[in-house]
């Protein structure tokens, strides 16, 4: 892409709320049930039926608003009128100019902040399945079937401000939003099941100009990977159009994952096309100040807060390790880092083992006995286990999950770390044997040794690698380094 263009992106995210029942009726809210079994006159839009608002859905919407630092306001439901076969009422009950959550922000792991315009409540539509065509597409299909189980499931639509400036940042935003939805208990955030769906509005403008360019909205982004790819592609398409003297036309476009391109779906509809009007069967919604305060009090810390806390704990060791910190918080494992640091393990080691070994087995790691976990880290820190050995012991320990305490206890909590290591069968290689392996490596590679003596310091890694291989990872790296220094004289 040409450097003279700046992409601008705003995301609209729909998420299904984790309520037991639908937004306006008592039908079950469940994914994957037998089609058309969770339906009733209300969600089928039969004449004479009346909606009753689900209090639990309102509470979850408020949780999302609180997590996103929105203002929770009195709101009004509107009918958004359009025809679609999977929407039995021919209108969708949504919120229009008076949404429940207004203003707000989301902090991303890279330190940037994206503004939130609003997060409003609405009902989901049903689902149409096309039969007989290729890959479930309508094109070439013999007939279509409609499943109304999803019709009336509560949704919150979260609309960002156009504060996102690259495909990578859009991906971070969607990932962070998903983490918040899950952490606040509002949604399960499963993109593959459609419980979180992202539309991306993309425009480009000459770098440095404040005015926004004409946008296209891309639908059908069902993974973070597709989201980033589709935006990247759309930016390229718009820049090419403008550079060839044409104009971007405001449109809704469909992302074709197989072809790796966006294609025109329809020209952009305007608000007036929907003939919004207040839903006459529902009263305005006005949560009491007490309710709003109760919701705020009941919320645990959000991922950004937890990353900040972990970063503070790590101090200098946090520098340049954002990815590890994000990963540990995402997997809910900062308790292990805290236990290790509290027991005197160096923050960098505590973070590294938790971000790598513990994160590789998150289920085991959530159940592991922290004292046992820290014991192994201490053995490594004291040089009684090489890094390779410590990783291997940790893998075994994590596999034992709940029984890890018993495992370490069986090995004998008593005794020095060296004795425990011996019982684990992972005693580090003695210094003498290590020294012998170092001199073997030097003798076998005279050319490299000569260059090392002449000052090619990075060859230390070459010799260490040989020694590690020969010792099957049992040698202590610090001893190898000291031995190389000693031989150098």
Q: Is 8 in the site for ligand ADP (CB under 6 A)?
A: yes
Q: Is 215 in the site for ligand ADP (CB under 6 A)?
A: yes
Instruction: Give ∠ CA 22-25-31 in degrees, rounded to 5.
Output: 30
Both tokens of 365, joined, read 């790691």
Helix locations, 244-381, DSSP H: 289-298, 303-314, 322-330, 334-342, 347-353, 359-360, 362-367, 370-381
Q: Is 174 in the site for Zn ion (CB under 5 A)?
A: no
Q: Is 23 in the site for Zn ion (CB under 5 A)?
A: no
Euclidean distance between CA atoms 286 and 284, whole angstroms = 7
Pick between residue 38 and residue 203 the one whose CB is nearest to Zn ion: 38
Considering only residues 126 through 155, tell me which ones interact with ligand ADP, judged by CB under 6 A: none
Which of these ranges, 127-135, 207-215, 291-299, 359-367, lies near ligand ADP under the rule CB under 6 A? Answer: 207-215
Phi, psi dihedral angles at 144 (to 5 degrees): -125, 150
Which of these ranges, 43-51, 141-149, 164-172, 331-339, lies near Zn ion under the rule CB under 5 A? Answer: 43-51
Q: Is 68 in the site for ligand ADP (CB under 6 A)?
A: no
- The interaxial angle of helices 459-470 and 477-488, nearest 10 deg, is 130
Instruction: Give ∠ CA 440-442-448 in degrees, rounded to 5.
Output: 150
CB of 268 to ligand ADP, least distance (A): 7
Q: Is 180 in the site for Zn ion (CB under 5 A)?
A: no
Q: Is 248 in the site for ligand ADP (CB under 6 A)?
A: no
Pick between residue 125 and residue 354 the one whose CB is nearest to Zn ion: 125
Candidates 56, 162, 278, 417; binder of ligand ADP (CB under 6 A) is: 162
Pick between residue 40 and residue 460 the one whose CB is nearest to Zn ion: 40
Helix locations, 13-117, DSSP H: 55-67
Candidates 50, 212, 283, 453; binder of ligand ADP (CB under 6 A) is: 212
Candidates 9, 17, 43, 438; binder of Zn ion (CB under 5 A) is: 43
CB of 148 to Zn ion, least distance (A): 9
CB of 154 to Zn ion, least distance (A): 12
Q: Is 161 in the site for ligand ADP (CB under 6 A)?
A: yes
CB of 202 to ligand ADP, least distance (A): 6
Q: Is 9 in the site for ligand ADP (CB under 6 A)?
A: yes
Euclidean distance between CA atoms 386 and 143, whole angstroms = 64
Q: Return the SS3 of 413.
A: coil
Candidates 19, 184, 203, 361; binder of ligand ADP (CB under 6 A) is: 203
Euclidean distance between CA atoms 245 and 307, whole angstroms = 46
Both tokens of 1, joined, read 């892409």
CB of 336 to ligand ADP, least distance (A): 38
What's the DSSP call for residue 98?
Answer: S
Which has the closest alpha carbon to 147: 79, 81, 88?
88
CB of 283 to ligand ADP, least distance (A): 25
User: Of ligand ADP, Zn ion, none, which one sits near residue 203, judging by CB under 5 to 8 A according to partner kind?
Assistant: ligand ADP
Which of these ranges, 4-12, 62-70, 426-434, 475-483, lies near ligand ADP under the rule CB under 6 A? Answer: 4-12
Both tokens of 446, joined, read 């005279």
104 vs 13, 158, 161, 293, 445, CA distance in Å?
15, 10, 10, 17, 63
Q: Is 146 in the site for Zn ion (CB under 5 A)?
A: no
Size of the site for Zn ion (CB under 5 A): 5
Candidates 9, 13, 15, 27; binder of Zn ion (CB under 5 A) is: 27
Which has the closest alpha carbon to 79: 284, 285, 274, 286?
274
Both tokens of 369, joined, read 């006995």
Q: Return the SS3 of 266.
A: strand
Pick between residue 54 and residue 203 the one whose CB is nearest to ligand ADP: 203
What sign has the CA pseudo-torsion 36, 37, 40, 42?
Answer: negative
Pick between residue 173 and residue 373 the one whose CB is nearest to ligand ADP: 173
Both tokens of 39, joined, read 């339906």
Euclidean distance between CA atoms 192 and 176, whole angstroms = 17
Q: Is 160 in the site for ligand ADP (CB under 6 A)?
A: yes
Q: Is 151 in the site for Zn ion (CB under 5 A)?
A: no
Considering only residues 107 through 126, tell me which ones interact with ligand ADP, judged by CB under 6 A: none
Euclidean distance between CA atoms 58 and 268, whole angstroms = 30
Which of these ranges, 9-17, 25-33, 156-164, 204-212, lies near Zn ion under the rule CB under 5 A? Answer: 25-33
User: What are the DSSP calls for 149-162, one per residue?
Assistant: GGTT-EEEEEEE-S
User: Of ligand ADP, Zn ion, none, which one sits near residue 25, judging by CB under 5 to 8 A according to partner kind?
Assistant: Zn ion
Euclidean distance between CA atoms 182 and 418, whole angstroms = 43
User: Of ligand ADP, Zn ion, none, which one sits near residue 43, judging by CB under 5 to 8 A according to partner kind?
Assistant: Zn ion
Which of these ranges, 7-15, 73-81, 330-338, 354-362, lies near ligand ADP under the rule CB under 6 A? Answer: 7-15
Which of these ranges, 24-32, 190-198, 270-278, 376-384, lies near Zn ion under the rule CB under 5 A? Answer: 24-32
Both tokens of 487, joined, read 């031989």
190 vs 36, 68, 241, CA distance in Å?
22, 19, 35
486 vs 401, 446, 448, 480, 489, CA distance in Å?
43, 17, 17, 10, 5
Q: Is 12 in the site for ligand ADP (CB under 6 A)?
A: yes
Q: Which spans of this chain sit near Zn ion (rule: CB under 5 A)? A: 25, 27, 40, 42-43
Interface residue list for ligand ADP (CB under 6 A): 8-12, 159-162, 201-203, 212-213, 215
């Amino acid at each position: 892409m040409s450097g003279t263009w700046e992409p601008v992106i705003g995301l609209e995210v729909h998420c299904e709320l984790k309520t037991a029942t639908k937004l306006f009726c008592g039908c079950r809210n469940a994914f994957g049930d037998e089609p058309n079994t969770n339906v009733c006159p209300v969600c089928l839009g039969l004449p004479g039926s009346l909606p009753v608002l689900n209090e639990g859905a309102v509470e979850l919407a408020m949780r999302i608003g609180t997590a996103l630092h929105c203002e929770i306001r009195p709101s009004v439901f509107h009918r958004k009128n359009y025809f679609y076969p999977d929407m039995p009422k021919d209108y969708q009950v949504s919120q229009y100019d008076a949404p429940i959550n207004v203003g707000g922000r989301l902090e991303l792991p890279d330190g940037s902040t994206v503004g939130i315009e609003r997060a409003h409540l609405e009902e989901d539509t049903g689902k149409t399945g096309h039969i007989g065509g290729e890959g479930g597409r309508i094109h070439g299909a013999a007939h279509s079937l409609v499943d109304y189980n999803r019709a009336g499931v509560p949704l919150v639509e979260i609309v960002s401000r156009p504060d996102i400036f690259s495909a990578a940042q859009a991906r971070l935003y969607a990932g962070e939003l998903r983490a918040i939805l899950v952490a606040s208990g509002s949604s399960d955030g499963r993109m593959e099941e459609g419980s979180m769906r992202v539309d991306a509005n993309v425009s480009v403008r000459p770098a440095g100009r404040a005015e926004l360019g004409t946008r296209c909205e891309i639908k059908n982004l069902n993974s973070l990977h597709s989201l980033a790819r589709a935006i990247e592609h759309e930016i390229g398409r718009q820049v090419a159009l403008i550079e060839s003297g044409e104009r971007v036309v405001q449109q809704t476009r469909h992302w074709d994952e197989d072809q790796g391109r966006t294609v025109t779906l329809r020209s952009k509809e305007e608000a007036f096309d929907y003939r919004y009007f207040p839903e006459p069967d529902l009263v305005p919604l006005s949560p009491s100040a007490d309710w709003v305060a109760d919701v705020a009090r009941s919320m645990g810390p959000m991922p950004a807060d937890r990353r900040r806390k972990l970063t503070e704990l790590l101090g200098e060791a946090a520098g340049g390790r954002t990815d590890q910190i994000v990963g540990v918080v995402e997997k809910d494992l900062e308790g292990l880092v805290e236990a290790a640091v509290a027991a005197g393990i160096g923050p960098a080691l505590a973070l590294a083992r938790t971000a790598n070994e513990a994160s590789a087995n998150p289920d085991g790691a959530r159940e592991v006995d922290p004292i046992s976990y820290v014991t192994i880290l201490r053995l490594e820190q004291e040089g009684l286990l090489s890094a390779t050995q410590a990783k291997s012991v940790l893998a075994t320990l994590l596999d034992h999950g709940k029984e890890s305490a018993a495992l370490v206890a069986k090995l004998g909590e008593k005794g020095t770390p060296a004795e425990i290591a011996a019982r684990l069968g992972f005693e580090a290689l003695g210094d003498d044997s290590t020294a012998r392996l170092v001199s073997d490596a030097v003798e076998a590679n005279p050319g490299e040794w000569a260059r090392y003596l002449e000052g090619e310091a990075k060859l230390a890694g070459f010799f260490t690698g040989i020694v590690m291989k020969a010792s099957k990872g049992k040698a202590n790296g610090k001893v190898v380094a000291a031995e190389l220094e000693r031989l150098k004289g």
